[in-house]
Amino acid sequence: MTTPAYSPGLEGVIAGETAICTVEGGLSYRGYFVGDLAEHCSFDEVAYLLLHGELPTAVQLKEFQTRVAAARRVPPPIKDLLGALPKWTTPLDALRTAVSALGHFDQDSADNAHDANLRKAERLLAQIPVVIADHYRIAKGQPEVPARQDLSHAANFLYMLRGVEASPMEVKALDVSLILYAEHEFNASTFAARVIVSTLSDLHSGITGAIGALKGPLHGGANEKVMDILLASGGPEKAEEWTKSALARKERIMGFGHRVYKTGDVRAGILKKFAQDMATQVRQTNADRGTELQKWEDTADIIERVMATEKNMFPNLDWPAGRLYYAMKLEIPLYTPIFAMSRISGWSAHVIEQLDNNRLIRPRALYKGPPRRPVKPIAERG
């Protein structure tokens, strides 16, 4: 009998078909290069593209934004749940629990028809930022800030988080990061969602599972480790020596390397400029903090150079995202929930695509245990 081919971690294995995204020749969403989308579109437009298949017209975008803005609320029992969670609950764990609970309150929860799933996806797109912001403020003993229907996805989130409107530069930077995080083919969390709904489970179950997969530091949690690395390096003067020593100890430096991109992640290059520009902008109003941020940008450049020279490894999107969010004074435990706030658009698109043409995802395993053997009476064992 021929032994089936085996690829650890399913690396390089084609596990399905999709019309949503490809990483071949550079990351594209439904045929549009991600760099062009980041330059010319808002996240609201990109979310519409992922969910509905085409970039919206002005009328379609307005209608979409109106629907999403109207759904920026969660039932009172969800707010009570967020307040009842233990104080040590992380924002991402709170979000995972809330998304699962939201399924109970969605009138379309059990309906897996295409249009019903689109309605659920748009509601979750609206509700996830509300959950993140509400839990953040509840955990700090601060009153919740009601959502505003006149603001974009990024602008409303920052407003709910802080209680004041963000600067146009902050809104643009966050918006671009949401575009870049929105979708990435069959990554671990997306594949988890597709596996779940392939059993004919529901969208909320699939998204809950996706958030669980995103939690791990080898996936979404990596952006939360970026500032830890920069702080541990000791700054520009010590960064090269620290990086080489860490590599010699075979320590994993988060924010570098990618299962798919071997010569660099185009998304990292796009967002790096926003991280650098944010440091420059802060320096104009707060010299001390701006100097600190520039120190970390300089440190990041040195670590990038060493990683390229020593390991032929290049930054992925998490590397500049962690620095950008830090520059925006967003607390580190919020970084991965922000990833989820974006990726809900891609996750939902994949859930809908899977259910529109479903086949149960059930791979095989390569057995490495003992050969078949008889069961001995208990007195003869040992």
d(CA 122, CA 99): 13
Tell me the backbone φ, ψ of residue 172, rounded to 5 degrees.
Answer: -65, -45
**pLDDT digits 0-9 by tens, 338-371:** 999 999 999 999 999 999 999 999 998 999 999 9
pTM of the model: 0.93
Domain residue limits, the chain? 18-218+334-356, 223-327
Is 18-218+334-356 in CATH node 3.30.428.10?
Answer: no
What's residue 262's pLDDT? 60
Structure tokens at 319: 């590397």
Catalytic sites, residue numbers: 258, 318
Q: How far apart are CA 95 and CA 89, in angstroms?
A: 10
**Residue 99 phi, psi (nearest 5):** -65, -40
303-319 core/surface letters (b: 16 or more CB in 10 A; e: else): bbebbeeeeebbbbbbb
CA pair distance 175, 179, nearest whole angstrom: 6
Q: Phi and psi for 256 in degrees, rounded to 5? A: -125, 145
CATH number for the region 223-327 comes to 1.10.230.10
* Phi, psi at 232, each rounded to 5°: -65, -30
Q: What is the largest CA-CA distance in the chain?
A: 81
For position 89, what pLDDT does the model report?
A: 97
Amino acid (1-letter code) at residue 121: A
- Specify the pLDDT at position 14: 86
- Indicate if 223-327 has the same CATH topology as 18-218+334-356: no
Residues of the chain falling short of pLDDT 70:
1-4, 258-259, 261-263
